[in-house]
Amino acid sequence: MKVGGKHYTTIWPNADGRAVDVIDQRWLPHEFRVATLRKLSEFATAIREMWVRGAPLIGVTAAYGVAWQMAEDPSDAALDDARNVLHATRPTAINLRWALDLMRNHLRNLPPEKRAQAAYAKAAEIARLDIETNKAIGANGLEIIRGIAAGKKPGEPVNILTHCNAGWLATVDYGTATAPIFLAADAGIPVHVYVDETRPRNQGAHLTAWEMVAHGVPHTLIVDNAGGHLMQAGRVDMVLVGTDRTTASGDVCNKIGTYLKALAAADNAIPFYVALPTSTIDWTIADGLREIPIEERNGDEVSLVWGKTADGTITRVRISPEETPDANPAFDVTPARLVTALITERGVVPASREGLAPLAPERGA
């Protein structure tokens, strides 16, 4: 997507043919910084310290980390070492392990002298596949936006409410929930995005709002409390969010607060869509509410808010009494009954066992 009129992805090979450049997302939205990764330890730090974040982007960064290491030392020992160092950065990230295993399996049967080139090529392929998947999600979602636009007066925007950041910063490009929005904007369909700030970590205010500014998409930041009123007032045409995990029955686990927006959408007969790559469907789980464990994160995320002071200092401020305890569940589950449809790279399907069945791996294309 665009930043200041120039096309960027979140990660790309440096001009030197060895190092890798990434957008250092820790400083967004206040500063746009690019970091060049030139050591295995720098790739590890970039993932662990969340210079890069989002499952797809973490996987691609790790793949490039392996490639870097192969250019340094293509031995079996170095390959194992790269895998172990990078895997330890965020051990629960399934996509990270998937990318590292893919790289190792691809490289270990090659002679060492061919590994570096093959590794850079494979990392680039993983990145390209991510972009293709997201573009396909975008193309499928675009038709939904186009349909809503067709019912509007000429020039009247389609108002889309989104929660958290399922944007291009979490992927290599396009994002998942944002892909239909960017494609619609690029196609000249008037869109306007209500961006939930998404407390406690404010990914909406920090990242989604920044993406919209950078690519030039009309948008408005709102507090998470406001969406229900906007829907009651007829100011939202559709809700479009991402998901971390979707069950085989269509229950959607996503950032905390998503469920509240789904309830409000249902109460006001506004369509509620979830965009996802089919790789994030968990076919082993049927009942999302009973079976998906919800991560409880550090309460400091609730009581301390990160931002920039008037003099430009980037810091945290405490909003509550020191003595007050916090609870910080990070995700919630939206039951399938509240989801209008799932937008995947393989088509738009109902959020139900029957709707998802054609996408199951054993029956997949």
Which residues are the active-site residues?
244
Q: Which of 34, 88, 121, 213 binds its own copies (CB under 8 A)?
A: 213
Interatomic CA distance for residues 228 and 224, integer angstroms: 9
Q: Name the minimum Å distance from CB 87 to its own copies.
A: 30
**Least gap, CB of 145 to its own copies (angstroms):** 21
Longest dimension (CA), the chain: 64
**CA–CA separation, 250 vs 243, rounded Å?**
11
What DSSP letter does each residue of 267-305 carry, written as one string? HTT--EEEE--GGGEETT-S-HHHHSPPPB--THHHHEE
Between the two ends of the chain, the Cα-to-Cα distance in Å is 30
**Tokens matching residue 11:** 């990660």
Q: Any contact of residue 315 with its own copies (CB under 8 A)?
A: yes
Q: Which of 13, 19, 27, 30 touches its own copies by CB under 8 A?
A: 30
Beta bridge partners of 29: none
Alpha carbons 335 and 290: distance in angstroms, whole number: 11
Q: Which is nearer to its own copies, 151 or 321 (CB)?
A: 321
- What kind and span of H or E run contains 23? strand 20-23
* Least Cβ distance, residue 311 to its own copies (angstroms): 9
Of these, 9, 89, 134, 198, which contacts its own copies (CB under 8 A)? 198
Q: What DSSP assignment string belongs to 228-243?
A: HHHHHTT--SEEEE--
Total binding residues toward its own copies, as defined by CB under 8 A = 67
The yes or no reply on residue 58 touching its own copies (CB under 8 A) is: no
Q: Which of 222, 285, 286, 348 binds its own copies (CB under 8 A)?
A: 222
Q: Contact with its own copies (CB under 8 A): which of 324, 357, 358, 360?
A: 324
x-or-dash string of contact with its own copies, 63-102, rule CB under 8 A: ----------------------------------------
Instruction: Name the phi and psi angles at 31, rounded to 5.
Output: -140, 140
Pairing of strands 245-247, 252-255: antiparallel
Residues that bind its own copies in the complex, under the rule CB under 8 A? 29-30, 194-195, 197-200, 202, 205-206, 209-210, 212-213, 219-230, 232-233, 255-257, 259-261, 263-264, 267, 289, 294, 299, 302-310, 315-321, 323-329, 331-333
